[in-house]
Amino acid sequence: NAGVTQTPKFQVLKTGQSMTLQCAQDMNHEYMSWYRQDPGMGLRLIHYSVGAGITDQGEVPNGYNVSRSTTEDFPLRLLSAAPSQTSVYFCASQGGWSSYEQYFGPGTRLTVT
């Protein structure tokens, strides 16, 4: 049981490039989410999904797209990278309504130059 996995661990992009951050979980969790973590700003929710085929925006969705074609995978796409997207990105998952704990992946450190 690997839990929540994220790839890559580190990435450097040039302004304007696009890329996809991968996230997968093997716990059959319905709920998955993407956060970014910036110094002094805590965790901010980018997008989330309550099940396959269902996604919604969080508090900072601009510049990011998501899709949820399977229960296991929840990729985050940066459409045209900007220096303001330099951050550490975390994926998290959570089980059903009676499950309260969120499980986090190890994070992806992204630098946009």
Judged by the rule CB under 8 A, the positions of this chain that interact with other proteins are 4, 31, 33, 40-45, 48, 50, 58, 90, 92, 94, 97, 100-107
Q: How far is the CB of 4 from other proteins (least distance, A)?
A: 8
- Please say which residue, 3 or 83, places its beta carbon nearer to other proteins: 3
Shortest distance, CB of residue 110 to other proteins, whole angstroms? 14
Q: Closer to other proteins by CB, 77 or 109: give it.
A: 109
Q: How far is the CB of 97 from other proteins (least distance, A)?
A: 8
Secondary structure letter of residue 32 according to DSSP: E
Question: Judged by CB, which is closer to other proteins: 82, or 103?
Answer: 103
d(CA 72, CA 94): 12
Q: Is the Cβ–Cβ distance between 35 and 47 less than 8 Å?
A: no
